[in-house]
Amino acid sequence: MSAQINSQGAGAANIAKKWGWFVALGIAMIALGVAAWLDVVTVTIAGTIFIGASLLVGGALQIIHAFMTKEWRGFILSLFCGILYLGGGLLIMNEPVQGALFLTLLVVAALVVGGVIRIVLALQHRNIAAWGLILLSGIVSIVVGYLLYASLPWSGLWVLGTLIAIELLIQGSSWLYFGLALRFARDALARS
């Protein structure tokens, strides 16, 4: 047991020595997030094309897999799913603005469904102290979903890019904070 603790301590010390890489990663991601925030329309189109390319590759691999395992009972379903992915990827890549609108509709649907589920859960669990916050978050999700839907097609041009920018900013901040925490841990280990 003590050997395991010593090896974990040595591993933590080795990671703590590399704190600068985590800080650099965090700063780079924050910079990318700011750049994405400044031009969300371009990031939306690029993100849509990336999603289309991912569907295209996934569909091609699914079709190849279907033919490699054609003796399997799920051959037809697997082939159909591959063709559907392939077709969806081609459509999104050929018309990225329309693809962005479709993806925005998926975000709207996810917000509304998630909001309804949280409202139902909150109302079913009114005996829990924070049920009002859960109810409020469900209402906010539905309102945001409605506002995005009501502002279509314009919201389709910025929603995906904004979500990507926010993700980059949050991830960058997390890595930056983690790197700085490693630096403080390294300094603490050096003092002890």
- DSSP, residue by residue, 54-105: HHHHHHHHHHHHHHHTTTSTTHHHHHHHHHHHHHHHHHHHH-HHHHHHHHHH
**Has residue 7 been placed in a domain?**
no
- Is 55:87 a contact under the CB 8 Å cutoff? no
Compute φ and ψ for 74, nearest 5 degrees: -90, 20
Closest to 40 in 3D by CA, of 104, 136, 131: 104
pLDDT, tens digit, 9 for 90 and up, residues 36-68:
999 999 999 999 999 999 999 999 999 999 888
**Has residue 109 been placed in a domain?**
yes
Q: List the domain range (segments joined by +) for residue 162.
A: 21-191
Looking at the whole model, is its pTM more than 0.85?
no
Please enumerate in sequence order all residues whose Cβ is within 8 A of that of 115, keeping only pairs 6 or more positions apart, or say none: 137, 138, 139, 140, 141, 142, 145
**Has residue 13 been placed in a domain?**
no
**Has residue 170 been placed in a domain?**
yes
**Has residue 105 been placed in a domain?**
yes
Counted domains in the chain: 1
CA gap 125, 145 in Å, rounded: 24
**Has residue 137 been placed in a domain?**
yes
pLDDT (tens place) for every residue of the chain, 192 residues total: 434 434 455 566 677 778 888 999 999 999 999 999 999 999 999 999 999 999 999 999 999 998 888 777 888 888 999 999 999 999 999 999 999 998 999 999 999 999 999 999 999 988 888 888 999 999 999 999 999 999 988 888 898 899 999 999 999 999 999 988 888 877 776 676
